[in-house]
Amino acid sequence: MGNFIRDNLNKDGVDRRGFLQCMAWAGTGMLYVMKGGILSSLPIGSAVTEAAQMSKMTGVDFSFIQISDSHVGFSKEANPDVTATLQVAVDRINSAAARPDFLLHTGDISQLSKASEFDTAEQVLKGANAGKIFYVPGEHDVLTDDGKQYMDRFGRDTNGKGYYSFDHKGVHFIGLVNVLNLKAGGLGSLGSEQLEWLERDVKHLKTSTPIIVFAHIPLWSIYPDWGWGTDDSAQALGYLKRFGSVSVLNGHIHQVMQKVEGNITFHTALSTAFPQPAPGTAPSPGPMKVPADQLRNMLGIAHVNFVQGKHSLAVVDSPLASA
Amino acid sequence: MKRKKWNIAVSTTILSAAIIMGLSSPRMAVRAESKSAPGTQVKIDNFSFGPDLTIPAGTTVTWTNNDDVPHVVASDTKIFKSNALDTDDHFSYTFTKPGTYLYYCMIHPKMTAKVVVQ
């Protein structure tokens, strides 16, 4: 179990060795800073200070926020009011020192792909003081009609496929879909059509272009027994190997984990709805029921500062409960 | 062993008879179905399906989702496919033809199981 940080409530913060070995479980917020492929981390107490410093640092070009797994429509014991916790996430975004340029939502916006759930989520997220919101679907968003409703709402600019890329201040962002056409016995899947598109999409880019990939299911193998991985992610990452700085942001597992593999940093975000257990610590990855007063410490948002030129990416995972 | 084989032979004959009757009289076939093959339940718990089933043709299988997350029951060849089953939702399918049916959860594809219809 040396690979896991179960809790970051103690004052000495993160076990760096365990962190670099693979994974970090954070019940509370942490600051992650990547510089030249080397990660360092700080406990939440100083993370807030550090984040504020970083956002004021000259050279910080922009920041954005990742939110994930809102599951609007879920109403079970683990969190009977997921709309309220999504609203808290939005409030936190609005009270951040630096206004993010945009939001990334890494999927599971809804619980059951219902129109009313999407409506509520959009309504709440509209209140966020950020430019645009970029989405990728989670499996909960494509439960009916192979995701047509999701595509109609959120994928209009993506040729109906849901995957797309855009450039922002010198950084190339790629949103991928790995929740459709899943094969029996398999994991998340990108599919050959999307992989071909990705290869073409990055072909023209200089190797110095920083790349940020976001998708719902982790693009690295976290725990295949629970489906926490993507079958053909190695091929996708193969197209990105030549780039100097690649960051992969995922959701799906409702907890913070990080890994560094060569020039690629992987990061998963907290959910705004309910926590899920650490890999293998429960019979299944279903919603984790925690005492009400602890719930908001286990939900959150990730605020990402991008430092142009140095290729540094600082990801601050903030719990919904104020630190 | 001999006796078992004989039983299978007899039941195949009965099945054939039922199918022939079914062709001429659909109503009778329905009655025969419910009489010879009571419904069978499969529970979905902790991201897994209840045990694999071996059932006679004509059996209706009902899946019930006991998890806090939705699941979608689908055969790997899409012979049958449920809607998204929320907690306590059911889905039923009647297996009329003998064969081995592999199925999985379309959104949690690690969840797999099978139904063998004799």
pLDDT in tens, A154-195: 998 887 889 999 998 888 999 999 999 999 999 999 999 999
Nearest beta carbon to residue B69 from set A183, A184, A287: A287
Confirm whether A6 is domain-assigned.
no
Confirm whether A8 is domain-assigned.
no
The DSSP symbol for B69 reads: S
- What is the CATH number for A30? 3.60.21.10
Confirm whether A2 is domain-assigned.
no
B3-7: average pLDDT: 44
What residues in A contact B112, CB-CB < 8 Å?
Answer: 184-185
Note the pLDDT tens digit of each residue in B19-33: 434 344 433 333 334
CA distance A139 to chain B (A): 6
Q: What is the DSSP string of A98-130?
A: S--SEEEE-S--BSS--HHHHHHHHHHHTTSSS
- The CA distance from A4 to A200, in Å, is 37
Tell me the residue length of chain B.
Answer: 118
What residues in B contact A224, CB-CB < 8 Å?
Answer: 110
Nearest beta carbon to residue A186 from set B46, B68, B109: B109
Report the first-to-last Cα separation within chain A, whole angstroms. 27
CA distance A138 to chain B (A): 9
pLDDT tier for residue B17 given thresholds of 50, 70 and 90: very low
CA distance B29 to chain A (A): 33
Confirm whether A256 is domain-assigned.
yes
Residue in this structure with the two tokens 């419904």, named with its chain if needed: B39
The residue among A316 and B4 whose pLDDT is bigger is A316
What residues in B contact A183, CB-CB < 8 Å?
Answer: 76, 109
Confirm whether A7 is domain-assigned.
no
> Residues 4..23 of B with a Cβ closer than 8 Å to A: which?
none
User: What integer pLDDT is reported at residue A60 of this predicted model?
Assistant: 59
The residue among A24 and A110 whose pLDDT is bigger is A110
CA distance A286 to chain B (A): 7
Q: Do A227 and B108 touch (CB under 8 A)?
A: yes
What percentage of residues in chain B have a pLDDT greater than 90? 66
Full residue range of the structural domain in which residue A71 is found: 16-319
Confirm whether A10 is domain-assigned.
no
Mean pLDDT rounded to a whole number for chain A: 80
Confirm whether A5 is domain-assigned.
no
**Does residue A298 have a pLDDT over 90?**
no
B75-86: average pLDDT: 94
Residues 6+ apart with CB under 8 A from B27: none
What residues in A contact B78, CB-CB < 8 Å?
Answer: none
Q: Residue B86: closest CA among chain A residues belongs to which residue? A: A112
User: What integer pLDDT is reported at residue A303 of this predicted model?
Assistant: 79
Q: Which two tokens stand for residue A309?
A: 């030129």
User: What integer pLDDT is reported at residue A309 of this predicted model?
Assistant: 57
Note the pLDDT tens digit of each residue in A266-289: 988 888 899 999 998 999 999 988
**Does residue A212 have a pLDDT over 60?**
yes
Count of structural domains within chain A: 1
Nearest beta carbon to residue B68 from set A182, A226, A287: A287
Nearest beta carbon to residue B109 from set A183, A283, A285: A183
CB A94 within 8 A of CB A129: yes
User: What integer pLDDT is reported at residue A36 of this predicted model?
Assistant: 35
pLDDT tier for residue A311 given thresholds of 50, 70 and 90: low
C-alpha distances in Å from residue A165, one per residue of A62, A122, A197, A231: 18, 21, 10, 21
**Does residue B53 have a pLDDT over 50?**
yes
Q: Residue B69: closest CA among chain A residues belongs to which residue? A: A286
pLDDT tier for residue A27 given thresholds of 50, 70 and 90: very low
Q: What is the pTM of this model?
A: 0.79
Q: Which two tokens stand for residue A201?
A: 């999409």
